Structure 1
């Protein structure tokens, strides 16, 4: 018997163990990953030592930037549009919570304007976001 006449099997890679390992890694990362709300707004909220966590899931998000720009659910709006949206929200769901995110350098008159708009349209569950 000669070694030259013997046929070799072509090399093969068994991918079943690789798929198993990748499935376990994918499951691990999905379980351990923290999903945070991604926001495109460049707002630095003020720090409040006694602030609690925001555990409300369905809410209206109103933001005020340092330049006094308004955002309604992450969309830029002007003052008149904001008033219309708040009025519509107050008419349809008067008990809907509102989360107000204001930059720490935002003018106080804009923050109080938003608070006044919300309260005048029956949106009384108003919270301020902090870090």
Structure 2
């Protein structure tokens, strides 16, 4: 009896499952990067709003603590020097956007005093920040 040598097929690597896994890992990394938010403000207890959305691009952050203390980009600033400080920052960046983080326990009068100082500095683009309400 004559035995024939085995002529098997060559082994090959399937590319389709490999491509699927690469795209899955890519989607996971993209989703993880989009869920990370850059927040340069100091911690304050924000009021809640149903239409609150995170600010994507911030230029200048103003924080007002419950005790009335004011911070501009994490640096403490006296209320009477706030307009001058903001005016100097606006001179460096012409299209300055102010993102205002005010504590929910802050009085309405104190909030409007800071808004008046922002307006006095010539800044017109102001975004009041709030927490989204969990439904």
Q: Does 1:46 align with 2:62?
A: no
Distance 1:42 1:126 in 2: 19
The alpha-carbon distance between structure 1 residues 94 and 121, as it changes in their structure 2 partners (threshold 3 A), is: farther
Retained in 2: the 8 A contact 1:94–1:121?
no
Runs of 4+ in 1 over 4 A off after TM superposition: none
Deviation, structure 1 residue 58: 3.9
Deviation, structure 1 residue 47: 0.4
Partner of 2:79: 79
Distance 2:67 2:112 in 1: 15
Retained in 1: the 8 A contact 2:60–2:99?
yes
Distance 1:114 1:50 in 2: 23
The alpha-carbon distance between structure 1 residues 40 and 90, as it changes in their structure 2 partners (threshold 3 A), is: closer
Distance 1:102 1:122 in 2: 20
Unaligned runs of 5+ in 1: 1-26
Partner of 2:16: none
Retained in 2: the 8 A contact 1:95–1:122?
no
Partner of 1:11: none
The alpha-carbon distance between structure 1 residues 91 and 52, as it changes in their structure 2 partners (threshold 3 A), is: same
Unaligned runs of 5+ in 2: 1-24
Relative to the length of structure 2, the TM-score reads 0.64
Q: CA RMSD in A?
A: 2.5
Partner of 2:17: none
More strand by share: 2
